């Protein structure tokens, strides 16, 4: 099986920074897009950032200039560096990967989510 393991969430005060990591493991031949989503209580889940296999990135307008997504293909890992955090960033952050398995099956794999709480 293919799994995503996330880390880096926690409690931070406004203006602070956190770095989220998401590591994919298992029978993986290739990982295409890797994404970060977030969902605040009572809100819809939204796409925060996306990075393609080639390294092209997209960001939600609300996080541009503050968040940076990156990936290490050799380690099957995606990162989300979050700076200048504000209480509106409080949410459960989850990662998603589009994976081609070792036996050539396309898979969509989600992480378990990690809670980011920003206090004022």
**pLDDT value for 102:** 96
Q: What is the pLDDT of residues 54-88, one digit of tens each?
A: 999 999 999 999 999 999 999 999 999 999 999 99
Q: What is the pLDDT of residues 4-57, one digit of tens each?
A: 999 999 999 999 999 999 999 999 999 999 999 999 989 999 999 999 999 999
Placement of tokens 């969902």 in the chain? 39
Q: How many other β-carbons are positioned within 10 Å of the β-carbon of residue 93?
A: 24
Placement of tokens 């939600």 in the chain? 60
pLDDT category of residue 108 using cuts at 50, 70 and 90: very high
**pLDDT value for 91:** 98
């Amino acid at each position: 099986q293919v799994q995503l393991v996330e880390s880096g969430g926690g409690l931070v005060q406004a203006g602070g920074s956190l770095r989220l990591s998401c590591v994919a493991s298992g029978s993986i031949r290739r990982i295409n897009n890797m994404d970060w989503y977030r969902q605040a209580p009572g809100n819809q889940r939204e796409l925060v950032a996306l990075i393609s296999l080639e390294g092209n990135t997209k960001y939600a307008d609300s996080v541009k200039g503050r968040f940076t997504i990156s990936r290490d293909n050799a380690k099957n890992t995606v990162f989300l560096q979050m700076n200048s955090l504000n209480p509106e960033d409080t949410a459960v952050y989850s990662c998603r990967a589009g994976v081609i398995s070792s036996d050539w099956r396309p898979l969509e794999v989600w992480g378990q989510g990690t809670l980011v709480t920003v206090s004022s």
